């Protein structure tokens, strides 16, 4: 078993084991063996972490981009899975579709009417952009998108603040259908992709506001029965913070991208661009070994 670890790690662990032989070290409880490896990894510099991940580049899990905490997580997971499997399978193969609870994830990021006072009682939010990116959790690829704009009815004229923030123009919403029609189109799209019938799926969002606030309020405004499939969802921000061990305060969309050493692609607060960037983060989480459960629910 020891030959499955590179010489640098065997040498360091050998010194840490002091008077113990390798056989004695490997006969200790599993958590203790892993703690020795974790201790070595915790003492590495970022450059050392990248060098070790580079030597494992055949393993899809061992991406070299990311801050120090993320690189440490990847290297620890690599050795944890290596020690727990009988063959030298790629660690990314461990994260099979069987471990993901859903066949597909629908990454959702609504944009809504707003003003600079942020007073919902005086200016209730209405959904004006309905974007979804469909991720196949087996292939970890994007299998499609749904994207529509919606015409608001309570406050049909967009504020300058809203247009400046989202990039959505008055002409775009004026030429679009109202939410009930767009919602029916979305459900037709779901059924057309076999979602909820042939394949299981969950929404994936950045936080809870998209569903617990925007979708819930919009269904109430239009007297639409809230869909059962939206009552639980995967909160990507929470998954990211818990998995990589970072503060939730660092988990804005741009903050998560920064942690992965990626740049935001497109226009921030454009619903479809936000959804595409969040989808990239979701895919990386799965590649790194995260099981994307429905970890949030309607209040």
To the nearest 10 degrees (0 to 180), the angle between helices 30-42 and 68-84 is 150
170: left (phi over 0), alpha (psi -120 to 50) or beta: alpha
Strands (E), 22-159: 104-108, 111-112, 127-136, 141-149
218, 126 Cβ separation under 8 angstroms? yes
CB 262 within 8 A of CB 268: no
Q: Which phi and psi angles does 295 have, rounded to 5°?
A: -105, 10
- Residue 111's contacts (CB-CB under 8 Å, 6 or more residues apart) are 127, 128, 129, 166, 168, 269, 270, 271
**Which residues are marked as active site?**
111, 269
Q: Are 253 and 266 contacting, i.e. CB atoms less than 8 angstroms apart?
A: no
As to burial, measured by CB atoms within 10 angstroms (0-12 exposed, 13-18 middle, 19+ buried), residue 251 is buried
User: Strand runs (DSSP E) across 151-298, as ranges?
Assistant: 201-205, 232-235, 296-297
Residue-wise DSSP of 207-218? SSIIIIIIIHHH
Instruction: Using CA atoms of 174, 189, 147, 175 in order, give the dihedral in degrees to the nearest 10.
Output: -10
């Amino acid at each position: 078993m020891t030959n499955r670890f590179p010489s640098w790690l065997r040498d360091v662990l050998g010194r840490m084991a002091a008077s113990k032989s390798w056989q004695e070290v490997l006969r200790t409880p599993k958590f203790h063996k892993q703690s020795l490896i974790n201790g070595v990894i915790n003492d590495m510099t970022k450059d050392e972490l990248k060098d070790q991940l580079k030597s494992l580049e055949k393993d899809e899990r061992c991406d070299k981009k990311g801050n120090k905490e993320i690189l440490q997580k990847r290297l620890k997971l690599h050795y944890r899975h290596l020690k727990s499997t009988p063959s030298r399978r790629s660690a990314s193969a461990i994260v099979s579709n069987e471990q993901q609870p859903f066949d597909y994830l629908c990454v959702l990021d609504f944009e809504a009417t707003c003003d600079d006072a942020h007073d919902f009682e005086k200016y209730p939010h209405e959904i004006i952009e309905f974007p979804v990116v469909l991720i196949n959790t087996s292939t970890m690829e994007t299998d499609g998108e749904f994207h529509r704009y919606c015409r608001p009815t309570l406050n049909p004229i967009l504020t300058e603040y809203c247009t400046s923030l989202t990039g959505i123009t008055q002409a775009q919403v004026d030429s679009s259908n109202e939410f009930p029609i767009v919602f029916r189109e979305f459900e037709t799209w779901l059924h057309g992709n076999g979602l909820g019938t042939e394949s299981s799926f969950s929404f994936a969002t950045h936080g809870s506001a998209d569903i617990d606030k925007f979708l819930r309020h919009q269904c109430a405004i239009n007297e639409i029965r809230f869909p059962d499939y939206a009552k639980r969802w995967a909160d990507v921000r929470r998954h990211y913070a818990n998995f990589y061990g970072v503060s939730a305060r660092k988990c804005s969309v741009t903050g998560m991208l920064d942690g992965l050493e990626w740049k935001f692609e497109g226009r921030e607060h454009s619903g479809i661009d936000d959804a595409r960037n969040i989808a990239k983060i979701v895919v990386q989480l799965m590649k790194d070994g995260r099981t994307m459960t429905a970890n949030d629910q309607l209040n």
